[in-house]
Structure 1
Amino acid sequence: MWKFLSASDSGGHPHLVSLNGNKGRQTWEFDAKAGTPEQRERVEQLRAAFTANRHVQRHSADELLRLQCADKIAAKQHAPPTERIAEGEVPKAEQVEQHLKGAISFYECLQQDDGHFPGDYGGPMFLMPGMVIALYTCGQLDKVLRKEAQAEMVRYLHNHQNSDGGFGLHIEGGSTMFGTALSYVTLRLLGESADTPAATAARNWIHSRGGANYITSWGKFWLAVLGVYSWDGQNPLPPEMWLLPYSSWSGIGYLHPGRFWCHCRMVYLPMSYIYGIRGTCKETPLTAAIRDELYPVPYASIDWNAARSQIAKEDLYYPHPMIQDVLWWVLYKAEAVLLGSRLRKAALAEVMTHIHYEDENTRYVDIGPVNKVINMLCCWFEDPDSLAFKKHLPRLHDYLWVAEDGMKMQGYNGSQLWDTSFAVQAMLDSGLTDVAAGALKKAHAYIEQSQVVTEAAPPLSRYYRHISRGAWPFSSRDHGWPISDCTGEGFKAALGLAALQQPGLVGEGISRERLEAAVRVILSYQNSDGGMATYENTRSFHWLEILNPAETFGDIIVDYSYVECTSACITALSAFDRLYPGSSWSKPIAAALAKAEAFVRRIQRPDGSWYGSWGVCFTYGTWFGATALACRGHTAASDPALHKACSFLVGKQRLDGGWGESYLSCQDKVYSQLEGESHVVNTAWAMMALLAAGYHTIDPKPLHKGAAFLMRAQQASGDWPQQHISGVFNRNCMITYANYRNIFPIWALGLYRRLVLLGHTRDSSSSSSSGQGDRAWLCAVSDFWHNSQPSSKPSKK
């Protein structure tokens, strides 16, 4: 039986390096003796149920984690009411409170001893194949992944094969050559015969689209590494790019990869090394067989020069402009001169310097799963016996997650800090701090332990790194990359915990010096357009997107300003300035807030919505946009932009009272309704946007209906169902946030109960029915619009 291991259980490896005792580390271990016979039988039931329903419900429900927490769940203090709220009934405060108590009590059962909330962060289908190919190339596949893990990976691939035989870019997507060819190769490397039904169906899909030569550029890279695709069919990835001058005075400096978005440059950095040395797996009988299986024509007859530009129509989200094809042709011709030259050797040495810096400054976690495994591969090609390679191997397990659908590779080493920060704000906004006290105390410890307290190794400019001291990362301090919205949300959670009226409830707050370090980082993210980007400032021009070589993803070349990042920074800076008025930071904060508000207003769409770049999609973006403006003191009653945003959301409410948005909104950039019932996460986001804007003082009916839907959807355990996928990156790839189904319904119902049913203002020190005082409100959603409102129930206007 598979066991989830948290920080206290996951140490001990001689090559595992950690800054804080592995706080936040998430791994799974197979133990044949673990669990009771009844639990093992239950696991098989869950697996069978998922497989039987896999084409209807493609998303796993993280049931193995919940099963491991079954004893705590059974012993929890509160459960939601068994009687369902009737259609059309306006919820009562007492009813909502009982639902909230059940929800908080359940969610606390999933929390780990170090304070974080673990959860599935899978979804993309192209991540695990890269790891399997890299391990096979290094001769480490069977050493790192025991047979039980490999069996779970095969289960995962079988469960997420589409009915047409192909595999998608992500678990809910239509079949693509990228997903299908890489998944086919992975099945074969994991021991599946070429004549099984799954392999046969995938191979038929590949052949019917012309063969694996029609895979995207990232797929071409991995197939070339395995030796089943020619490097001549790969558009150039010259490491010499890293020798260009960085300075902008020459103009060419704007093309330096150090100016690219960090995820983009940190993927193409090791890719360029492998390409520069033509790093290829030693041929085996299996790779020779796969090479023949991937193409409907003899391998020797393939025109590799033509294959460089061949992409299946299902994959082509971002077509190459002509200027890019011309550039690739020139660089392709130049390879004959560069390969093996002194310039190439110098470039390769420069690239490896940056790879080692990235590895060491992230404790070999690396910024994400793609560069993680390619960095590892580079270290192996450089020296198979190196300490660097050995340090990479245990960190692979940080990226693996097991659920009832099998074992997957996650899009990060988890979303620990992100989820925990949101969970804290949700529980604080419920007003039920007595119910949540234990969870809040542990979460406070994790948030404190996750703040980045030292800079990456100097000199930062040499390695194109942004400042990081004072920031919060997405996952753990060991990962350490600073992110604007993670810093904003972690910062607000820390301030909210410190402001609780019960002294000593969660422990000593984070010091003023560390808070000011966070303010400094947040201010540093502001771009000239007034908005905030993700990890760094925008360092080059948006028109460089014409050089985007990844046909599958959009907007990857530079780090853009986003409504989500900007909103998180607006609310965080406002909270600090309110807590410490008249500080030395007040003037720079005021200037930054004015510019940030102008940016948020400028990017609002004509229909009133905001496009969400990191969640699905317009409900997500509009929550952030509305929150930002509301935090600046505006209301739907007085601000046309907020009123239009509320009108947009109310117009999308469905007959069941909820909201339900499809991931197609992200890729098509047009609001797309889900089929079937509404989605609890979309519903919560929409409600929170309406509440932030004060729309309930205009018309509370949409909030009543939304709350009733969330209450009806809640399960008897206090959990909510896992529905469609709710995260996204780079416009086109969806990703799982398993904790969202718990966090955001709690947050929305908590705000609804307090603001609509109890009529509290955001600044009041009102009491919940349990007798505990609420925190002093710090703009977690909106603090200011209520200042002119009476503290009694708002009247309908």
Structure 2
Amino acid sequence: MLDVTDSATAAASGLDPNQLDHVIGQAHAALSRRQKDDGHWVFELEADATIPAEYVLLEHFLDRIDPGLESKIGVYLRRIQGDHGGWPLYHDGKFDLSATVKTYFALKCLGDDIDAPHMRRARQAVLDHGGAERSNVFTRFQLALFGEVPWDATPVMPVELMLLPRSAFFSVWNMSYWSRTVIAPLLVLAALKPVAINPRGIHVQELFVTAPDQVKDWIRGPYRSVWGRAFKVLDQVLRPTTKLIPASTHRRAIDAAVKFIEPRLNGIDGLGAIYPAMANTVMMYRALGVPDSDPRAVTAWEAVRALLVGQGDEVYCQPCVSPIWDTGLAGHAMIETASGKDGIAPEATKAGLNKAVEWLRDRQILDVKGDWAINRPDLEPGGWAFQYRNDYYPDVDDTAVVGMLLHRQNDPANDEALERARAWIIGMQSTNGGWGAFDVDNNKDLLNYIPFADHGALLDPPTVDVAARCISFLAQLGHNEDRPVIERGIQFIRDEQEKDGSWFGRWGTNYIYGTWSALCALNAAGVSHDDPMVVRAVEWLRSVQRPDGGWGEGCESYENGPRGIYKESLPSQTAWAVLGLMAVGRRDDPATARGIAWLATHQDEDGEWQEQPYNAVGFPKVFYLRYHGYRLFFPLMALARYRNLESSNTRHVAFGF
């Protein structure tokens, strides 16, 4: 028999408590089915057409063509072509010139007739947008490797950058981890200027409005500030002077790049464990004359191939894999359901969690001082990576999420891992009180205006979402001596709040993600739920709730589009919104109840939720991501927490995530 509180909640949300239990049970079962035998979870991580197109071009650069595989990649690429004729950067997005140039090139390599309707539409769209000569820097590098444009089409990036000390402004050590690992092999390629084997002799001159040998100005903006124009002038000055660099210095710089890369090859997980760095390494070895049979080249190629995923007739290439992140988030969702309700056996849930935590503990990075140590040489390692292995590049966000899960499990076996993670997180705080994803004080913003950085993401500055997770972790641990660190973090979050009350989400889409993250941290840190900062955030979340009770936000919000708004409600964003509201005492808010009802009524027969729009970002305006696991673990986390707070005397979220 329901008590009065249960009845009131059911009436407000339109949910019968038994129905809520059933939905949670179904979601728990669905997530449990996806756990690997060794305890971890890993879901597909999908980007746009760029990465699979680049993979096809890589096979043709090397003349290592796999016709059966490429045929399946072609099916995938044709399916995701937009109605505008080109390829977008995210589901249902606008035309993107660079993605379309690469994809058209890849499909032509696959044998698609250029007069086929989909190729004609793509070609016309490229020409209508200024032609391939107006594509971005990375696309022009790709075209240069195939001889489609002269190397003058690329910005001056001499390999001698690898010789610059940390104190030099243009040093690679002032760039983000992803930039560092992508650039190092790319500088070698730019120095050696190899030409693709291109066994089928495929060219794409038809994509240019102006013939490449007639283009007078490859670096033409748009400039984000006057610094862009200043660095263009510097590029013009440096271009002829690089030819005066002594050959011995040139060779020494190439050697320095290789010496940087090889300790970081990371086995089957590859350089930086991200596709662009891995692919550049494969091409670098070929350009250096390293045989394909050399163990280094073999492993580098295997690492790239390991990113291929697909089902049936389709295959695509992931930008990287996310097992640590997926396992941490899935673990948090599962631990919320460990009460034994809905027919869920608590012992079975705990057994699965124990396996997950053991798997995670084994992957803590304890003996490698990665690139982060350039700025923190006395700090001992203690973080987790994002991928299976990436020891030189542990992820601050992952470390905080995994740390919170280990702490919630309440097992003394986790104590040492937690202390190492705690010390590392504290040591990684930047001077402004925030945390970046991989580095400390990686914020020389002027570097984002050099011609090479037309993507505007050369750096890894502190962000609210990462800072929020670090605050949550430290607050959850509850060490009094950490309070000054937490207070500096809170001030960073306070300073970064938008005028409308939301927070920008650097690594998830977008203001809903950032606002949820911040509210969880503020709650964990003991900030009053009536603090004006919190109240403004709550009111913003309420203001963007959709009429059907859910929330949605498109990647357009990274491109000056509406914040917190989309044409449909989405499982991930709805879960983030209600988790944020519940974190700051709004469990009984009608907006929360309506969001929970939306989640409960949009679950499919398999206990999962479906979500086609992209829900995360690599680089705003340039590179977006779809985490296939978000649609499973975040709704489960939200629904289970909603139910758990019903039986809580304080209605207080006990944990910081």
- The TM-score with structure 1 as length reference comes to 0.76
RMSD: 2.7
2:626 to 719, 733, 736: 736
Map of 1:258 onto structure 2: 173
Distance 1:416 1:363, change over 3 A: closer
Q: Distance in 2 between matches of 1:469 and 1:291?
A: 48
- Contact map agreement 1:714 1:720 (CA 8 A) in 2: yes
2:314 to 406, 413, 419: 406
1:674 aligns with 2:530: no
1:372 to 272, 278, 284: 278
Q: Distance in 2 between matches of 1:492 and 1:734?
A: 27
Q: Distance in 2 between matches of 1:707 and 1:190?
A: 47
Map of 1:687 onto structure 2: 578
- Contact map agreement 2:271 2:281 (CA 8 A) in 1: no
Map of 1:69 onto structure 2: none
Q: What amino acid maps onto 1:452 in structure 2?
A: I
Number of residue-to-residue matches in the alignment: 640
- Contact map agreement 2:471 2:486 (CA 8 A) in 1: yes
- Contact map agreement 1:685 1:744 (CA 8 A) in 2: yes
1:451 to 364, 369, 382: 364
Map of 2:6 onto structure 1: none
Map of 2:545 onto structure 1: 653
Q: Distance in 1 between matches of 2:234 and 2:315?
A: 40
1:310-363 per-position Cα deviation (integer Å, ceiling 9, x unaligned): 57x8xx98998211211211122223334x733222211111111212214785
Q: Distance in 2 between matches of 1:456 and 1:403?
A: 38
The Cα of 1:102 is off from its aligned counterpart by 0.9
Distance 1:361 1:158, change over 3 A: closer
Map of 2:401 onto structure 1: 489
Q: Distance in 1 between matches of 2:371 and 2:128?
A: 52
The Cα of 1:749 is off from its aligned counterpart by 0.8
1:720 aligns with 2:616: no
Q: What amino acid maps onto 1:120 in structure 2?
A: E
1:533 aligns with 2:436: yes
Map of 2:413 onto structure 1: 509
Q: What amino acid maps onto 1:342 in structure 2?
A: S
Q: Distance in 1 between matches of 2:422 and 2:235?
A: 43
Give the secondary-structure state (helix, strand or coil) at the position aligned to 1:606: coil
2:152 to 213, 216, 232: 232
Distance 1:171 1:649, change over 3 A: closer
1:68-110 per-position Cα deviation (integer Å, ceiling 9, x unaligned): xxxxxxxxxxxxxxxxx99965434332122101110111111
Q: Which moved more, 1:719-728 or 1:644-653?
A: 719-728
Q: Distance in 1 between matches of 2:270 and 2:76?
A: 26
Map of 1:575 onto structure 2: 476
Q: Distance in 2 between matches of 1:160 and 1:323?
A: 39
Give the secondary-structure state (helix, strand or coil) at the position aligned to 1:321: helix
- Contact map agreement 1:523 1:592 (CA 8 A) in 2: yes
Q: Which moved more, 1:96-105 or 1:728-737?
A: 728-737
Q: Distance in 2 between matches of 1:309 and 1:465?
A: 38
Q: What amino acid maps onto 1:703 in structure 2?
A: T
2:17 to 83, 93, 114: 93
Q: Distance in 1 between matches of 2:226 and 2:330?
A: 40
Map of 1:643 onto structure 2: 535
- Contact map agreement 2:615 2:627 (CA 8 A) in 1: yes
Map of 1:561 onto structure 2: 462
Map of 2:4 onto structure 1: none
1:157 aligns with 2:77: yes
Distance 1:422 1:92, change over 3 A: same
Q: Distance in 1 between matches of 2:225 and 2:309?
A: 30
- Contact map agreement 2:90 2:614 (CA 8 A) in 1: no
Identity level (%): 23
After the TM superposition, which residues 612-631 of structure 1 pair with which residues of structure 2 at under 5 Å, given as runs? Answer: 612-631=505-524
Distance 1:99 1:356, change over 3 A: same
Give the secondary-structure state (helix, strand or coil) at the position aligned to 1:228: coil
Map of 1:12 onto structure 2: none
Map of 1:303 onto structure 2: 214
- Contact map agreement 1:613 1:666 (CA 8 A) in 2: no
Q: Distance in 1 between matches of 2:91 and 2:13?
A: 37
Q: Distance in 2 between matches of 1:592 and 1:193?
A: 60
Q: Distance in 1 between matches of 2:367 and 2:524?
A: 31
1:428 aligns with 2:335: yes
Unaligned runs of 5+ in 2: 1-8
Q: Distance in 2 between matches of 1:548 and 1:602?
A: 31
Give the secondary-structure state (helix, strand or coil) at the position aligned to 1:664: helix
1:180 aligns with 2:84: no
The Cα of 1:294 is off from its aligned counterpart by 3.1
After the TM superposition, which residues 211-290 of structure 1 pair with which residues of structure 2 at under 5 Å, given as runs? Answer: 211-247=131-167, 253-282=168-197, 284=199, 286-287=201-202, 290=203
Q: Distance in 2 between matches of 1:479 and 1:155?
A: 35
The Cα of 1:513 is off from its aligned counterpart by 2.6
After the TM superposition, which residues 281-360 of structure 1 pair with which residues of structure 2 at under 5 Å, given as runs? Answer: 281-282=196-197, 284=199, 286-287=201-202, 290-296=203-209, 302-306=213-217, 308-310=218-220, 321-338=228-245, 341-360=247-266
Map of 1:108 onto structure 2: 32
- Contact map agreement 1:110 1:117 (CA 8 A) in 2: yes
Q: Distance in 2 between matches of 1:151 and 1:721?
A: 27
Q: Distance in 2 between matches of 1:177 and 1:205?
A: 8
- Contact map agreement 2:224 2:449 (CA 8 A) in 1: no
Give the secondary-structure state (helix, strand or coil) at the position aligned to 2:178: helix
1:130 aligns with 2:38: no
Unaligned runs of 5+ in 1: 1-84, 248-252, 500-507, 764-776, 782-797
Q: What amino acid maps onto 2:423 in structure 1?
A: R
Q: Distance in 2 between matches of 1:660 and 1:405?
A: 31
Q: What amino acid maps onto 2:176 in structure 1?
A: W
Give the secondary-structure state (helix, strand or coil) at the position aligned to 2:273: coil
Q: What amino acid maps onto 1:484 in structure 2?
A: V
Give the secondary-structure state (helix, strand or coil) at the position aligned to 1:235: coil
1:199-239 per-position Cα deviation (integer Å, ceiling 9, x unaligned): 23222222333432221111000011122221122221111
The Cα of 1:482 is off from its aligned counterpart by 0.5
Map of 2:5 onto structure 1: none
Q: Distance in 2 between matches of 1:325 and 1:424?
A: 48
Map of 1:779 onto structure 2: 655
- Contact map agreement 1:367 1:481 (CA 8 A) in 2: no
Q: Distance in 1 between matches of 2:211 and 2:170?
A: 39
Q: Distance in 1 between matches of 2:310 and 2:224?
A: 30
Q: Which moved more, 1:446-455 or 1:684-693?
A: 446-455
Give the secondary-structure state (helix, strand or coil) at the position aligned to 2:638: helix
Q: What amino acid maps onto 2:53 in structure 1?
A: P
Q: What amino acid maps onto 2:307 in structure 1?
A: Y
The Cα of 1:120 is off from its aligned counterpart by 1.7
- The TM-score with structure 2 as length reference comes to 0.91
Q: Distance in 2 between matches of 1:361 and 1:540?
A: 30
Distance 1:559 1:705, change over 3 A: same
Map of 2:123 onto structure 1: 203
The Cα of 1:185 is off from its aligned counterpart by 1.0
- Contact map agreement 1:362 1:479 (CA 8 A) in 2: no
Q: Distance in 2 between matches of 1:384 and 1:279?
A: 13
Q: Distance in 1 between matches of 2:226 and 2:498?
A: 25
- Contact map agreement 1:658 1:678 (CA 8 A) in 2: yes
1:512-565 per-position Cα deviation (integer Å, ceiling 9, x unaligned): 3322111121112101100011101024533333226333x33x2332111111
Distance 1:644 1:404, change over 3 A: farther
1:744-785 per-position Cα deviation (integer Å, ceiling 9, x unaligned): 111111111121x3344478xxxxxxxxxxxxx86233xxxx
Give the secondary-structure state (helix, strand or coil) at the position aligned to 2:107: helix
Q: Distance in 1 between matches of 2:80 and 2:226?
A: 27
Give the secondary-structure state (helix, strand or coil) at the position aligned to 2:508: coil
- Contact map agreement 1:318 1:550 (CA 8 A) in 2: no
Q: Distance in 2 between matches of 1:514 and 1:135?
A: 42
